[in-house]
Structure 1
Amino acid sequence: MATARDLRATEAAGLGDADAVEMAKRHLVQPWPFAGSVGSEARTLIGEGDGIYITDGTGKKLIDGPAGMWCINIGHRREELARVMYDQSMALSYNTPWYTMNAPSAELAMRIAGHAPGDLSHVFFTTGGSSAVETALRFMQFYNNVRGRPEKKLIVSRSGAYHGSTYLSASLNGRPRDRDWMDGTDDLVVKLSSPDPFRRPKDISIAAFTDALVDEFRDTVARVGADRIGAFVGEPVQASGGVVVSPDGYLKRIREVCRDNDILYISDEVVTAFGRLGHVFASGDMFGIDPDMITFAKGVTSGYFPLGGVIISERLLEELRRSNHPDAMFGHGLTYTSHPVGCAVALKNLDILEESVLTHTREVSPYFQAQLKTLEELPLVGEVRGLGLMGCVECVADRESKDPMQLDKDVGKRIDAHCHELGLLVRPLINMCVMSPPLIITRDQIDDMVSILREGISRTMDDLRKEGVWRG
């Protein structure tokens, strides 16, 4: 009699596209599922990638608008990275980081430190963005314990933020629906308002809005107590929150409040680092800030291998070395910390970024932003915003109220469905469409992408009018 294991092996043998869809429905739990379909869902099957394009399970060629998940920075099917993975695997596929080390991780740490702002000079490697943020927060806790300040542990985050899916990092998240059914360490987190100029109160200038945001932080520190707040965590651009670009000077002023109150500033560059804004790190080069820590992941390997990390200020490490507790242990580590294959891939990826891709990104970014901005001509579009090769098209019921929820909670999915049919993969976020293509995209390809997106939005407008839910 065949066992369940025998049946599974038979099912998996010679798996084709149709088989993969069926097996997913029967065995695969997808990320961020709904209770009504958890464990029985199949999503769009992607079979191949090449440059800025992917091919779905039906053979349709699509522009990879989100670059995977903000991460395929140098494009799909780069033989150089595949070769590095093979060569490093044949030389050394793994070593335990508890009591051994490997050369690629040491070299990569040195290269990364050379691009970091201020005195950020040491790198702890993780497996991705969530574990990078978790590591930074645990280091903050350790740092304050060693310094004799066990009460200085609260973490300041912001509405609209996204910092990960591990328990502590997810507790910082401030996007709609992220925490509706999920628990978190709410007693450790203090939330500030989102720095979203589009959603600022009516009849208030950008300058006044910025002042109010900074005052809110100062007032929060005064109310809660600087002696209880350990860190502020912020994305330079709120990525998954809808590509929210804060007002000019806002981040510098928040950094000053942190410095004045001995609060560690953690810049979450999981999305913005490694080229997305045209620089290896955006904190210093784009925003003029020198954080105490920077978290990164995604583009560090262009998505070819799971890797992330935290860059830590030399000042913090020196303070630990000078403490009265030299035997205090930072009891934190991961089986795949400093993975030799991931670090080798990241080194080659950094070579490619430095050789041409960073320069190319800075050159095409203004064109990308300008072309996306033309979509504001469409009555369904409330605002187009972005920076570098990050962009968001936010749809609204009407521009006066800026209310997306009266329109359709899934208007982004509607647009994505039309765009898929036309040859573009979009990342829908409720009433928003987020675009973050591979950094190697050309002006002609940007034209193609925006043209398809325009048509997808236009078709969605027609659908909504026919259904009588929108008159725009």
Structure 2
Amino acid sequence: MSLTNSNFDDVRNWDIEHHLHPWEGMEDPAAYERTFVEGGEGIYVTNEAGEKFIDGPAGMWCVQVGYGNTDIPQAMAKQALEMAYVSPFSNSNSASAQLAHEIAKRTPGDLNTVFFTTGGSTAVDSALRFVQFRNNLMGKREKKVIISRQKAYHGSTYLSSSVSGKERDKGWLDQAEGLVYFLPNVNPYVRGKAQTVAEFLDEKVADLENAILEIGPEKVAAFIAEPILASGGVIVPPKGYHKRCLEVCRKYDVLYISDEVVTGFGRLGHWFASEAVFDIVPDIITCAKGLTSGYVPMGACIISDRLIEDISGDASKGATFSNGFTYSGHPVSAAAALANIEVFERDHILEHVHKVTPLFLERLHALAELPLVGDARGEGLMGCVECHVKAEGDQLSMDHEVGGMIDAHCAKMGLLLRPLINMCVFSPPLVIEEAQINQMFDILGEGIRRTTDDLVRQGKRVA
């Protein structure tokens, strides 16, 4: 069913009256007027009025190959016509089998067993359930605590949200009690003024070891970590953090889960970032988003041979891993992911990311010179500009206002951002060209300058 622009008053009303969006503010849902994104080509999206924008967040960190790709939809259509659905509980399909093989070829170390899910949240849930399942089979029924981190985001299903550490998301929904222990923020930007990055790194690694000892190694099952904390504000831990944390985990028989839902499939210029960028081979990797470039939902939990061997054969005790989804390994999603991988390789997208990343980071870090900017940080094609104005009253309200002002100015100039309170977060499609990177940062810089002018006119003191 197609709509013309003249229908959009009705469409907006339907959206307000019937569509509950993720993270919806409930005080007055009708007060928030959303942009309707109705078309896209390359790094650009078009709204219902035909206005064109650079898609700064690549949808939700996921549209790696850009909009308007024809290979992926054609592969999906072909698969849907041949076999649209196969029950993963009792059958299989060549598309999902081939995809599992292609993923295993690209993972580090011995991570060769792929469990397909519907997205990132269910991939994390499946990873945590597998850890519980394994420990139960091995007679370690008390070894269940998961260590996570403040500002971490791992999903919105029950278990994945329980191990997420964004404090403002936890006020009104229940969490799994006693499951998780949160480590303090690993953002070097918040370290003490007299503290060096090396000292901060030592402190953060000690936080993990001290937590394991405090809880008891016999009770700690796993440490889950995003290589870069994406939704927490593109927090890049100090260099060497992940490797040293893995060493601590090995010391105390704690599994290491690397949540690569955002960093996997090219965001940092590699299929997976764990080993290639951070020099670790975890026990489990979760992925989603870039797996299909966002063209259709899919995720995966990838498990090491060592863990599978621990509970296979005689060690299995006849147990069943009773975890799965109707749409696990969906043939159409698998076909999309296979086509996505082919596009990556044919168009040399990983190489392209390495080529354009230096300019991206150069332009990003240059924004730190603006008076409103407290920190500009990033890695690969992930970036965050954190802005600050000292409030006389409610600091959180002031932070929201500043972020909203920057977002509005940038949208008027043709750039969509993902405002996270006072942080401008962006992760453009991986196909972005250098001229487009310059255009994106030109707009962002001007948006910050215009916001600064607005604040000064309001009598606010901008540092």
Verify same fold: TM over 0.5. yes
| Runs of at least 5 residues in structure 2 that lack an aligned partner in the other structure | none
- Does residue 1:450 correspond to 2:423, yes or no? no
Cα-to-partner distance string for 1:150-184 (whole Å, 9 max, x where unaligned):
11110000001000000110011112411122221
Structure-2 separation of matches of 1:386 and 1:98: 41
1:386 matched residue in structure 2: 378
Q: Secondary structure at the match of 1:410?
A: helix
> What RMSD in Å do the two structures reach over aligned CA positions?
1.9
Native 8 Å contact 2:223 2:255 kept in 1? yes
| Runs of at least 5 residues in structure 1 that lack an aligned partner in the other structure | 1-8
Measured at CA, do residues 390 and 283 of structure 1 come closer, stay the same or move farther in structure 2, by a change above 3 Å?
same
Match of 2:355 among 353, 360, 363: 363
1:278 matched residue in structure 2: 269
Q: Counterpart amino acid of 2:165?
A: G
- Does residue 1:412 correspond to 2:406, yes or no? no
Identity of aligned residues (%): 49
1:376 matched residue in structure 2: 368
Match of 2:64 among 67, 73, 95: 73
Q: Counterpart amino acid of 2:332?
A: V
| 372-381 or 297-306, which deviates more | 372-381
| 203-212 or 405-414, which deviates more | 405-414
Match of 1:352 among 343, 349, 355: 343
TM, length-normalised to structure 2: 0.96
1:156 matched residue in structure 2: 147
Structure-2 separation of matches of 1:420 and 1:301: 27
1:140 matched residue in structure 2: 131
Mapping of 1:6-25 within 5 angstroms? 16-25=7-16
Q: Secondary structure at the match of 1:238?
A: coil
Mapping of 1:222-237 within 5 angstroms? 222-237=213-228
Structure-1 separation of matches of 2:178 and 2:399: 34
- Does residue 1:297 correspond to 2:249, yes or no? no
Q: Secondary structure at the match of 1:121?
A: strand
Match of 1:436 among 427, 433, 436: 427
Native 8 Å contact 1:30 1:39 kept in 2? no
Q: Secondary structure at the match of 2:274?
A: helix
How far off its partner does 1:42 sit? Answer: 4.2
2:232 matched residue in structure 1: 241
How far off its partner does 1:14 sit? Answer: 10
| 161-170 or 321-330, which deviates more | 321-330
How far off its partner does 1:59 sit? Answer: 1.6
Cα-to-partner distance string for 1:9-35 (whole Å, 9 max, x where unaligned):
9xx999832221111011111110112
Mapping of 1:57-96 within 5 angstroms? 57-96=48-87
1:256 matched residue in structure 2: 247
How far off its partner does 1:187 sit? Answer: 1.1
2:105 matched residue in structure 1: 114
Mapping of 1:98-109 within 5 angstroms? 98-109=89-100
Native 8 Å contact 2:71 2:343 kept in 1? no
Cα-to-partner distance string for 1:32-66 (whole Å, 9 max, x where unaligned):
01121247754111110110000112221000000
Structure-2 separation of matches of 1:406 and 1:240: 19
Structure-1 separation of matches of 2:411 and 2:35: 10
When the two structures are aligned, how many residues end up with a matched partner? 459
Q: Secondary structure at the match of 1:384?
A: strand
1:130 matched residue in structure 2: 121
- Does residue 1:306 correspond to 2:297, yes or no? yes
Match of 1:170 among 137, 161, 171: 161
Measured at CA, do residues 286 and 103 of structure 1 come closer, stay the same or move farther in structure 2, by a change above 3 Å?
same
Structure-2 separation of matches of 1:258 and 1:38: 44
2:181 matched residue in structure 1: 190
| 170-179 or 317-326, which deviates more | 317-326
Measured at CA, do residues 326 and 88 of structure 1 come closer, stay the same or move farther in structure 2, by a change above 3 Å?
same
Q: Counterpart amino acid of 2:39?
A: E
Structure-2 separation of matches of 1:261 and 1:19: 59
- Does residue 1:218 correspond to 2:209, yes or no? yes
Structure-2 separation of matches of 1:471 and 1:154: 44
Structure-2 separation of matches of 1:244 and 1:259: 24
How far off its partner does 1:406 sit? Answer: 7.9
How far off its partner does 1:465 sit? Answer: 1.4
Match of 1:287 among 261, 264, 278: 278
